[in-house]
Amino acid sequence: MTLEKDAGIGLLNKANEVIKNTITEKGGKMDVKMEPRAVSLREEAELQAMMERVALENEEVDGDAPEDE
């Protein structure tokens, strides 16, 4: 988190480039689905709520495990 929007986005872009170069050197491939961007507090709260909802949906419940035969 930073108050300097341009500096923060620039740092994230540099980090992504270093990570991508390392992955590529090892024979892998990296696709960035969304470039770094600044978000508002409302967007951040919505993202957190979505992540919590997904985490709840992904929790294992009774009956999820395969049955032993």
Q: Give the pLDDT confidence score for residue 47 in this predicted structure.
A: 87
Q: Please list the pLDDT of the chain residue by residue as tens digits (69 residues).
A: 888 999 999 999 999 999 999 999 999 999 999 999 888 889 889 989 999 999 988 887 666 666 665
Positive or negative torsion for Cα 32, 34, 35, 38: negative
CA distances, 58 to each of 10, 21, 39, 44 (Å): 33, 32, 26, 21
pLDDT of 36 reads 93
pTM of the model: 0.59
User: Which pLDDT score, from 0 to 100, does residue 19 have?
Assistant: 97
